[in-house]
Amino acid sequence: MSTTSGTKSRGMKFAEEQLQRHGWSQGKGLGKKEDGIAQAIKAKLKQDNAGVGHDPSKEFTNHWWSQLFNKTAASLVVETGKDGVKMKTQAKDTSKPYLNKELNFIFYQTVNKNYQHK
């Protein structure tokens, strides 16, 4: 488990001492049958900045502006009459139900907002 330059780093010395404490010796492989790896694993630097599950092609395949335009256009209603062309939007219920726990928190914050300890 020595490095190529002949000198061992502090971490490599520690790792080798731990392995020797458990019965390993230089040149042997790891494992019960000593047929495992005999060289130290070298860490690799991660050069990209993408995380797990990142799809680099998504910015080219996800056309959010097209989806937004289609969604907005679907909610418009155009009416023609003797007064001309009128545009209306379809009303949607955007309210969401609150849980009692959320309402209690909002109520508490509203009531105690102006209260200051003296």
Q: DSSP string of the chain?
A: ---TTS---HHHHHHHHHHHHTT--TTPPSSTTS-S--SPPPP----S---TT--TTHHHH--HHHHHHHHHHHTEEEEEETTEEEEEE-------PPPHHHHHHHHHHHHTSS----
Determine the average pLDDT of the residues in 66-87.
84
Q: What percent of the chain has pLDDT over 70?
A: 71
Percentage, residues of the chain above pLDDT 90: 0
The domain segmentation of the chain, as residue ranges, is: 1-32
Q: Does residue 116 surpass a pLDDT of 60?
A: no
Residue 77: per-residue pLDDT: 83
Predicted confidence (pLDDT) per residue in 10-65, tens digit: 777 888 887 888 777 777 777 778 777 777 777 777 777 777 777 777 777 777 88
